Amino acid sequence: MELVQSLAHSCILSICCDPCLHSGEHVKDRVRPTVSERKSGKSIGADFGTWMGKRSEFVTIGKYDSSTLIYIPSMDAFYYAAPPALLSPKCNDKTVFLGQYVVDDDLTPRVLVFDMVRINGVSCADMPPTERYACLQQMGDLLGPICSVQWVGECKVLQSELKSGRFKVPHAVRGVMALSSVPGKVTTVDEVAAKRT
């Protein structure tokens, strides 16, 4: 019998501690990402986005008072962060990051953080993805050691680089996702089988 039953279970074992069962400010920051398919024939244009792991689990990592909480949308559950996912004490209260949990081919778990949901209690909804990513880059040093800032840029460039094999990642890739003005609302640009290292 395999111990890890699902990617969500692996995510909990890797970055979470106890469930957070009390209600509080964090409850209103439930982000339920939606992935919609691009309508055929629609041009990529100047879409801004990143890649989506073939097997990935969306997560948010937020700072609430002195606690770091992880939200796993597929489980609709909050957990206290395990030490590798703790946000720095320098991180401001009510700051929430959005990422995807993946397991690399060598079985290394990681969280690729690609967006901001809230900064210092202010919602990032309706902020252009380029501005949110600029903020994320400035706050990357606040993330725990299992987390890294994921590359985000022009979708058409990434799509081309993945297909040609010039851009390699250590895990299977589902495709390229374009970010929208609402954190967590993404559109798949292309399903690709990226070449890996």
Q: With contact defined as beta carbons under 8 Å apart, do 62 and 26 qualify?
A: yes
Smallest CA-to-CA distance from 91 within 61, 70, 54, 114 is with 61
Q: pLDDT tens digits, residue range 139-150?
A: 999 999 999 999
Model confidence at 195, pLDDT cuts 50, 70, 90, reads very low
Give the domain ranges of the chain: 7-20+30-191
Q: How far apart are CA 104 and CA 106, in angstroms?
A: 5
Helix (H, G, I), strand (E, B) or coil at 111: strand
Q: How far apart are CA 191 and CA 88, in angstroms?
A: 35
- pLDDT given for residue 3 in this prediction: 43
- pLDDT given for residue 37 in this prediction: 83
39 has a pLDDT exceeding 80: no
State the distance between the two ends of the chain, measured CA to CA, in whole angstroms: 30
Backbone CA torsion sign across 127, 129, 135, 136 = positive
194 has a pLDDT exceeding 80: no
197 has a pLDDT exceeding 60: no
CATH superfamily of 7-20+30-191: DNA ligase/mRNA capping enzyme (3.30.470.30)
Q: With contact defined as beta carbons under 8 Å apart, do 32 and 71 qualify?
A: no
How far is residue 187 CA from its own chain's centroid? 14
**Whole-structure pTM value:** 0.91
Helix (H, G, I), strand (E, B) or coil at 189: strand
40 has a pLDDT exceeding 70: no
Q: How far apart are CA 31 and CA 72, in angstroms?
A: 9
Backbone CA torsion sign across 88, 107, 52, 49 = positive
- pLDDT given for residue 165 in this prediction: 87
Torsion region of 135: left, alpha or beta (phi above 0 gives left; psi -120 to 50 gives alpha): alpha
Smallest CA-to-CA distance from 148 within 196, 104, 94, 197 is with 104
User: CB neighbours (10 Å) of residue 91?
Assistant: 19
* Higher-confidence position of 189 and 58: 58
- pLDDT given for residue 38 in this prediction: 67
- pLDDT given for residue 188 in this prediction: 87
Smallest CA-to-CA distance from 182 within 33, 36, 11, 17 is with 33
Using CA atoms of 122, 124, 114, 23 in order, give the dihedral in degrees to the nearest 10.
50
- Summary mean pLDDT of the chain: 90
Q: What is the arithmetic mean of pLDDT over 8-27?
A: 94
Q: pLDDT tens digits, residue range 168-184?
A: 899 999 989 999 999 99
